[in-house]
Structure 1
Amino acid sequence: MSTADTLAEGPRSEEAAAHPLDNPVRSSLTGPHARFAERRGRILRYPPAVTPWLALPADPDGRDWDDVAALAGPGGTVTIAAFGESPPDDWPIVFQVDGVQLVDGTVAAAPDPEAVLLGPADVPEMLELVERTRPGPFTGRTVELGAYLGIRRSGQLVAMAGERLSPTGWTEISGVCTDESVRGQGLAGRLVLAVAHGIRERGDTPFLHAAASNTNAVRLYESLGFVLRARPRFLSALVPPHASAARREDGDRTAARD
């Protein structure tokens, strides 16, 4: 059975998810990004102001979904990345997307002379670029997850790419976007290679995710030397109002279950 088949079915135990990229959000929040982790029982998530991703264990049961509901609250949105399990049947699905997970194969990573490091002071411009280009989840504190690089033209930020998930030994390249006014100039590819260079410099391996339907982006990443590892699914669901009735007392629910 291939890795992609395993992801499609969903691993049934923590031991089954042997590779950090099988459940990359959980691998990040139990590893290099542990400082961001919000926890209830076996459920981990990033603060929503940082990024919306939530992580379940490899073998979620009803108690785990109760904890998801408690973290998100009735009517709250739950966003799950690269994981095979589905939420309970009565949780409305907001979106569900088939994706690809690509890893560094023969990427010719290199710094870019035009790229500048972006930080908190640049967040308003970054959010404006995200609003124009819709690269995926990016919020006011996403920049805290890793290094973001941008390219400016006439003082305006027109392209960027940076780091998001961080499983041990790996770093995800994300937030890749280019303003329509400069598309076709190769800026996205240059920034991906520059971010990949920084990742390699500290000893990690670059990887990234894309929607399978975004064939232009997938072709670009493959042309840069990324290769397909898996075909994960991404979904977002709403916690139903009645889910709050299933909550337990905090003392028992926060006991270690890992």
Structure 2
Amino acid sequence: MLNNPVWAALSGPQACFAEAAGDAARFSPEIAPFGALRDPSDPAAWRDLAGLTSEVVLTGPSITPLAGWETTEVMAGVQMVGQSMTGVEDPDAVVLTEADVPEMLELVARAQPGPFRKRTVDLGRYLGIRDGGRLVAMAGERFRMPGWTEVSAVCTDPEFRGKGLGARLTLAVAAGILARGELPFLHTVHDNDTAIRLYERLGFEHSGDVVFASFRHTAA
């Protein structure tokens, strides 16, 4: 499942958020830009995907588009798992809801943690820390599959970095995942050494290299 987490999520616990056709699925565009194929080497799955969307982001150890698709962007990343970590609840963390989405989107625009859309908050539990009422840091849950939930959107306002807020929220989100009897995992870009060292200190371990690749359907 960790090699194909989006498919495991969309064909499993998060099927309610899926637009699916045969061996392809994607999240509703208002939730996330990600899609997935049951088997990325299967031409039929790529044809199924074309019936759903003309542009998509796929993730996995390695993805080569088949006929009718072209790669538009590739970002190298790493996957990390928290199989032996301990989460820590944070008394200052508040649960973020749909009412907080405008502030969450503003924070994402300032901090640039990766894809986050107006209904991403529907995917799981999101926590934030406020300063004087202003949302200055957040983290939450994105892909969820049997036994695993991804920690995602870990970000801090540039004015408040260096205070350990991201670490605190990562541990708090992980605590909620562990309390359900699941294990946390996450992704980050491969050259973000600062984030990787932080996650290692929190108890995450490298489980493999991945790519986040954007594709466009070009066939008539």
In the superposition, the TM-score normalised over structure 1's length comes to 0.82
State the partner residue of 2:58: 80
Partner deviation per Cα, 1:151-179 (whole Å, 9 max, x = no partner):
00011000000000001000000000000
State the partner residue of 1:165: 143
SS of match in other structure, 2:29: coil
State the partner residue of 1:68: 49
The answer to whether 1:141 aligns with 2:119 is yes
Partner deviation per Cα, 1:47-73 (whole Å, 9 max, x = no partner):
11111111111253222222212211x
SS of match in other structure, 1:232: strand
Indicate if the aligned counterparts of 1:127 and 1:140 stay in contact, CA closer than 8 A. Answer: yes
Partner deviation per Cα, 1:54-107 (whole Å, 9 max, x = no partner):
1111253222222212211xxx32100124221136633221111111001442
Indicate if the aligned counterparts of 1:107 and 1:193 stay in contact, CA closer than 8 A. Answer: no
Greater helix share, structure number: 1
The answer to whether 1:33 aligns with 2:14 is yes
Q: How does 1:1-258 map to 2 (within 5 A)?
A: 20-72=1-53, 76-88=54-66, 91-240=69-218, 243=219, 245=220
Q: Cα gap change, 1:55/1:173 in structure 2, threshold over 3 Å: closer, same or farther?
A: same
SS of match in other structure, 1:184: coil
> What amino acid maps onto 2:11 in structure 1?
T
Partner deviation per Cα, 1:169-212 (whole Å, 9 max, x = no partner):
00000000000111000000000000000001111101101110
Over the aligned positions, Cα root-mean-square deviation in angstroms equals 1.4
Distance 2:20 2:87 in 1: 36
Distance 2:141 2:173 in 1: 8
SS of match in other structure, 1:80: strand
1:216 shift after superposition: 1.1
Partner deviation per Cα, 1:92-134 (whole Å, 9 max, x = no partner):
3221111111001442311001100000000000000001111
Partner deviation per Cα, 1:20-45 (whole Å, 9 max, x = no partner):
21210111112111111211121011
Indicate if the aligned counterparts of 2:140 and 2:173 stay in contact, CA closer than 8 A. Answer: yes
In the superposition, the TM-score normalised over structure 2's length comes to 0.95
Percent identity between the aligned chains? 49
Distance 2:47 2:207 in 1: 32
**Which runs of 5 or more residues in structure 1 are unaligned?**
1-19, 246-258
> What amino acid maps onto 2:113 in structure 1?
P
> What amino acid maps onto 2:12 in structure 1?
G
